[in-house]
Amino acid sequence: MQTVVIEEATKKNKSDAAPSLDFAALFQQYYPRVYNYLRYRVNVPEDAEDLMSAVFEKAYTYREQYDPAKGAFSTWLFGIAHNTLANFYRTRQRRSVWETETELPEDLTTPEVSPETQVLHQEAVTRLLHGLSSLGERDQEIISLKFAGRLSNKEIGQIMDLKEKTVSVVLLRAMRRLQKEVQELA
Amino acid sequence: MNEQQLADLFSEQLDLLLTGQPSVIPPEAGDLQGLVDLGQQFTHVDFQMRPAGQLAFQHQLSTWFGLTSPATSTFLGLSKVWIIGLIFVAIVVGSGLTLLSVPVLNHWIFNPDDGPNIATEEPASTAPDAPAGLPVVLPEQTDSTAPDAPAETTTDTTSSEGDVLPNVTSSQGDIIPSETPLPTFSLKDSLSLPESAPGSTGEMTGDNSAITGDNAAGESGEDDGAGNVPGGPTKGDDHDRGHGNDAGGFDPDNPGNSSGIGGGDSGFDLEKLGRGDSSGGSQGGGSNGSDKGKSDDKGGGKGNSKNK
């Protein structure tokens, strides 16, 4: 899962421009990444699953409106996820999902390492997620789209309505703030 | 390096990091290496949907796109639908074979003699062992006078119905199987003829006068002049029909068959017939050729009726 890269997505996006798209296969391919992105922003797995179901239901309903000439399928799909998540926050009036989270989530996968390393990894991830939750909405969103969605700066710019160069700068600043938060948590 | 250059460099390094390639941070990048290390920690933060959530999502996809659910159970690579269909077809075929086998088994069990009977009927009618060029000898024809025909001996047999049946043996020694079911023929009459008139099997040719001499003796006055043979088909003025052995095509009732075997000259002599004394003996011998004489005889040919 981690090996899925942006270049791979770009190649796939070129194939998405085919006249007839296999939406079933595309949904199968992209749903892990969408779920990972939603979990970066939502601390409850059930909420993330409900959000993902809502995202793909919208994608299925409006699949005929997708135009490959206007952008990649990943951009279109993560755009739906971005808007769905914004509506979710607006309805619940919750700014961050990791504010009160103190334990490692159950659905978080850990690498196959020694128990000691795994403990260190879990502590690092916990600090990382708490630091992420302390960031602003745009910082959280751009970091989530970059690492969880594994999108390029161009795709992130299309989703967040930003220029590619601006995305690079915003991402750099967000990472500096996150680094500061993590250091404070440590 | 200004902020934009650092941001572009950082984004490039992150893309390399996400592709699994090692990132190379130039020394002038400043604190960029620490940010890349922080980004590398994110590559280990990966959430996976719970199994229940995955099943729900797969079910949703199958509902939308009609995909086969991975939870569908199969047996030997066949789905339930195929297995049920195969079982149904097997049941139907088995039932059909059972229904078909019942009457056949009943036939074999309750009629065990049908098989052998069928086998014996066929060679009797076709006489496959008869020599080539020779006519098939039917039971009716065995008593006809045929001097040029191959020597044949008849052995009477009695069928289950009481009819006397001949076993015909050809000159080559081949035994022609007997016909058991020939209910349309009255074999008893024709087969008994040789005994009643021994001279009819060859001795009668040219010796009609001797036979008629017996007849002329008037011993057979009891005869009605027509029924020479008990149970015989002809009576009185009735002409013989169907034998067709009348030599020279003389029989007006059966002219087309008058060239048959054994027609001979016996009984054909109109002059002798005219005397009325020769027909009786010849008819008693069963010679078909003499039937003409018999039928024309109305008075003197009564003597042979005593024979049988």
Q: Where are the domains of chain B?
A: 3-42, 115-191, 195-306
Helix (H) or strand (E) holding A26: helix A23-41
pLDDT of B55 strictly over 60: yes
One-letter amino acid at B296 equals D
Helix (H) or strand (E) holding A177: helix A164-185
Predicted confidence at residue A72, as pLDDT, reads 93
| pTM exceeding the 0.90 threshold for the entire prediction | no
| Closest by CA position to B45, among listed A150, A76, A153 | A150
pLDDT digits (tens, 9 = 90+) for A61-77: 999 999 999 899 999 99
Predicted confidence at residue B25, as pLDDT, reads 82
Question: Do the beta carbons of residue B292 and residue B273 sit within 8 Å?
Answer: yes
List chain A residues with CB under 8 Å of B65: 23-24
Alpha helices in B163-303 (DSSP H): 187-191, 193-196, 208-216, 270-275, 279-284, 291-296
Tell which wins on pLDDT, B66 or A30.
A30
∠ CA B294-B296-B299, nearest 5°, is 80
Q: Is A42 exposed, middle or buried (0-12, 13-18, 19+ CB in 10 A)?
A: buried
Most confident of A108-117, A160-169, B102-111, B239-248: A160-169
Predicted confidence at residue B301, as pLDDT, reads 42
Q: Across the interface, do A53 and B56 touch by the CB < 8 Å criterion?
A: yes
List chain A residues with CB under 8 Å of B14: 146, 171
Predicted confidence at residue A102, as pLDDT, reads 52
pLDDT digits (tens, 9 = 90+) for B136-178: 555 544 444 444 544 444 444 454 444 545 554 444 545 555 5
Predicted confidence at residue B76, as pLDDT, reads 62
- Determine contact: B8 vs chain A, CB below 8 A: yes
CA distance B285 to B121: 30
List chain A residues with CB under 8 Å of B45: 40, 108, 125, 128-129, 147-148
Q: Which of B11, B37, B43, B63 to mutate to test the interface with A (most CBs of A within 10 A)?
A: B11
Query: For residue A32, what is the nearest residue in chain B, using CA coordinates?
Result: B48
Mean pLDDT on A152-176: 95
A163 to chain B, closest Cα gap in Å = 13
pLDDT of B128 strictly over 60: no
What are the two backbone dihedrals, phi and then psi, of residue B230, each rounded to the nearest 5 degrees?
-60, 130
Give the least confident one: A91-95, B115-119, B258-262: B258-262
A175 → closest Cβ in B20, B35, B45: B35
pLDDT digits (tens, 9 = 90+) for B188-237: 444 544 444 444 444 444 444 444 434 444 444 444 444 444 444 444 44
How far is C-alpha B196 from the geometric centre of its chain's CA atoms? 42
Q: Across the interface, do A24 and B61 touch by the CB < 8 Å criterion?
A: yes
Share of chain B above pLDDT 90, in %: 12
Question: For all residues of chain B together, what is the average pLDDT?
Answer: 60
Q: CA gyration radius for chain B?
A: 53
CA distance B143 to B30: 138
What domains can you pick out in chain A, each with its CATH number?
6-185 (1.10.10.10)
Predicted confidence at residue B197, as pLDDT, reads 45
Copy the structure tokens of residue B94: 């088995």
Token pair 């939870």 in the structure block, residue = B71
pLDDT digits (tens, 9 = 90+) for B31-54: 888 999 999 888 888 899 999 999
